[in-house]
């Protein structure tokens, strides 16, 4: 149950990070697409091995995706 509550925090955290690092957008826009692919593949791989790591990677993926799109 707690993991679902942390997923709800991922989107506001991504928006807050986007507002905080508005000046560095040209820098991290270059690296985020490759980071998102790595996180997505790692989360699906670790889902069969360890659910805690998979949920952490999924949380990081959602935060980074929201940060990139905002």
**pLDDT, average across residues 38-42:** 95
pLDDT confidence of residue 4: 79
Take residue 18 and report the two structure tokens written for it.
């986007």
42: nearest Cα among 60, 27, 29, 26: 60
pTM metric for this prediction: 0.88
Take residue 70 and report the two structure tokens written for it.
């905002």
**pLDDT, average across residues 29-47:** 93
Q: Decide if 52 contacts 3 (C-beta within 8 A).
A: no
Q: Decide if 38 contacts 27 (C-beta within 8 A).
A: no
pLDDT confidence of residue 28: 86
* Structure confidence at residue 46 as a pLDDT band (50, 70, 90): very high
**pLDDT, average across residues 1-12:** 83
């Amino acid at each position: 149950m707690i993991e679902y509550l942390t997923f709800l925090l991922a989107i506001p955290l991504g928006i807050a990070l986007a507002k905080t690092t508005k000046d560095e957008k040209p820098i991290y826009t270059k690296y985020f697409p490759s980071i998102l692919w790595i996180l997505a593949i790692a989360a699906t791989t670790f889902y069969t091995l360890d659910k805690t790591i998979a949920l952490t990677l999924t949380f990081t993926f959602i935060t980074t995706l929201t940060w990139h799109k905002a």
